[in-house]
Amino acid sequence: MATAAVLENQIRTIDPDEERAFMDAIDRWLEREVIPVVKDHDHGDIWPEKLVQQMAEMGLFGATIGQEYGGLGLPATTYAKIVMRISSYWMAITGIFNSHLIMAAAVERFGTPEQKMKWLPKFATGEIRGGLALTEPNAGTDLQAIRTVAKKNEDGDYVLNGTKTWISNALNGDCFAMLVKTDPDANPRYKGMSLFIADKRANDSGGLSTGKKFDKLGYKSIDSAELIMEDYVIPADQLIGGVEGQGFFQATGGLELGRINVAARGVGLAEGSLRLATEYAQQRETMGKPIAQHQAIQLKLGEMVTRARAARLLTLDASVAYDKGERCDKEAGIAKYFASEAAVENSQEAMRIYGGYSYSKEYDIERYYRDSMLMCIGEGTNEMQRMIIAKQHLKENQI
């Protein structure tokens, strides 16, 4: 598959021809392997084991990991385009490698040289797959409210106790970037938080277990479940960066890429809904002509086209800023907010265009409708995104 060039200033680029070849390969894979199985997997909530293996072979688990560690080293712009394309047919499977890549980004950006050499090559190939373990029953958007605690034992390792919830890849993943409190009494609270590499495969203490799997409205086939730590021992050399108290910034730093991913998924859902609505509107006839010729339908399609296009451009704008190494929490927040709302609105309008048939599981549009609302919630609610956008805007425009 294609790989990106990294310049001396660490700005990633990719030859346009290589990017086109990569996207063509994604299209062939979608046509041959993904589209034929979507309905069965989504309706049955079946883990797509074969597709996951194929994604590993294509290098998607190493998409944004540097070439020096065996990854593709793709720029965020190319990565976003890949996510958009896949999500326009089936959004859920992009979550399998997105959560994994956020974990990898935390290690690549903040890990020690030893941690990078040990973990990143195996992350890149998909030999070790995992995700991000931040959310707890009483701590979602407010990460500083987490209660999972890590205390050093007499051997110098850490003993974890607590529960994580809504963790993507919890059942089928191997490894997680786990946010905990190493100093519960720290003030401010974020100074007492640390991020660990929690390896399920090396659960010698028996203290890490998987809790219930959630039965979700949408986002099927990817497992969302609890992770429970009861005197779970993690070696000290798996503290990311090797220094306590850095976890909050390490975790939230990776969320910029995560929000770009969610924005790209929103774009995919918005564009996919538009594609389905456009096809149906030209096939369905009322009053002797295709409904696409009725003004009421054209008004809907015009709005859908505009929303999808604007969402794409905003997402690419955030991706460019990320690739330049610039602070992009505002840009990523704008893209995530707008694109996720565009996904919801386009899927709803497509449902209206389909009419009664949209309520049948025989038609794909109902899946887009079910999947879209998650985009407004995941990686920070849209209410929080608007607050982030406003705060950054005010900082930039003080009087």
Structure tokens at 180: 């905990």
Pairing label, strands 224-234, 149-152: unpaired
CA separation, residue 399 to residues 111, 330, 392, 393 (Å): 40, 20, 14, 12
* Contact (Cβ atoms closer than 8 angstroms) between residue 170 and residue 130: no
Q: How many residues does the chain have?
A: 399
Residue 283: which of 273, 293, 274 has the closest Cα? Answer: 293
Q: What are phi and psi of 160, to 5 degrees?
A: -105, 140
User: How far apart are the C-alpha atoms of 121 and 117, rounded to whole Å?
Assistant: 7
CA dihedral 138, 139, 145, 149 (to 10 degrees): 80
The 3-state DSSP class for residue 355 equals helix
Q: Are the C-beta atoms of 274 and 292 separated by less than 8 Å?
A: no
DSSP bridge partners of 163: 228
How many angstroms separate the CA atoms of 73 and 67, rounded? Answer: 5
- 278, 279, 280, 282: CA torsion to nearest 10: 80
Q: Is the dihedral of CA 44, 217, 167, 252 positive or negative?
A: positive
As given in the structure block, the two tokens for residue 81 are: 């385009």
C-alpha–C-alpha distance, residues 248 and 81, integer Å: 29
Q: Which two tokens stand for residue 347?
A: 């899927």
Question: How many other C-beta atoms lie within 10 A of the C-beta of residue 287?
Answer: 7
Clarify whether 379 is annotated catalytic. yes
Q: Which candidate in 303, 379, 383, 396 is catalytic?
A: 379
Coil, strand or helix at 239: strand
User: Catalytic residue numbers?
Assistant: 379
